Amino acid sequence: MPFTLILNNISRYIQLSEIEKKIFTGYLEAKTVKKKQLLLTEGEICKYSTFVTAGCLRGYTVDKGGVEHVLGFAPPDWWIADMYSLITQKPGTLYIEALEDSDVILLSKINQEKLYLEIPKFERFFRILTEKSLVANQQRIVDNMSLTAEERYSIFCKRYPTLIDHLPHKQIASYIGVTPEFFSRMRSEMLKKK
């Protein structure tokens, strides 16, 4: 059953009848992506909310100097999208890339809107999902303003213990907002201390 994980994800916030589950899964598309493959690039209109069932994705932007900035990672059981573009249906700035071979489930914007009409509970689900994401993002803003790179890294390690293992350092550096060079020095400093 390829939709077990996503149904379980949703059941954490709303309860669906068997019929509703059928309707919902009918709107989904399973897909596999290979490492380094892009699900979305800058300038594109984001047409899908993506749910990861295996592997790992990342969302990032590229600034005018060509430097990448990781906005977030999406390991299994996570949702990812260019929220700006998805909402406005205007060209966005986010790249979504597979960091490794991954399995994802796509829910198109159109089907998402249908869901809202046919099963209003989904309004609730996505409201809660968005609220949680908002809280995490607000915390990150505060952390970026008030903590040193070292403290931000410590927090990252605690919050995403499963990710640190198999993520390139470069990507973690980009997420916490430092250069790979500084990240490398920082880590060796931290090892010395402990």
State the residues that interact with a copy of itself by CB under 8 A: 61, 63, 65, 67, 69, 71, 83-84, 87, 93, 116, 120, 123-124, 126-127, 130-135, 137-142, 144-147, 177
Q: How many CA atoms lie within 13 A of 188 on its CB side?
A: 5
Q: How far is the CB of 90 from a copy of itself (least distance, A)?
A: 11
Judged by DSSP in three states, 44 sits in coil
Smaller CB distance to a copy of itself: residue 108 or 133? Answer: 133
- Scanning 45-53, 115-123, 124-132, 182-190 for contacts with DNA by CB under 7 A, the matching segment is 182-190
| Stretch 30-59 residues interacting with DNA (CB under 7 A) | none
The entry of a copy of itself, DNA, none that residue 131 binds, CB within 5 to 8 Å by partner kind: a copy of itself
Are the CB atoms for 91 and 34 separated by under 8 Å? Answer: no
- Binding of residue 121 to DNA (CB under 7 A): no
Sheet holding 79-80, edge to edge: 28-33, 102-108, 48-54, 79-80
Q: Pick from 21, 18, 31, 2: which is nearest to 122 by CA?
A: 21
Interior/surface letters 142-153, b for 16+ CB within 10 angstroms, e for the rest = eeeeeeebeebb
- Judge whether 46 and 94 are in contact, CB under 8 Å: yes
Nearer to a copy of itself, 9 or 49 (CB): 49
Say which entry of a copy of itself, DNA, none residue 149 contacts (CB below 5 to 8 A, set by partner kind): DNA
Q: Does 138 bind DNA (CB under 7 A)?
A: no
Q: At what angle do helices 149-159 and 121-146 cross, to 10 degrees?
A: 150
Among 61, 93, 154, 184, binds DNA (CB under 7 A): 184
Q: Is 187 in the site for DNA (CB under 7 A)?
A: yes
> Which residue type is seen at 144?
N
- Does 62 sit near DNA (CB under 7 A)? no
Sites of contact with DNA (CB under 7 A): 65, 67, 148-150, 168-170, 177-188
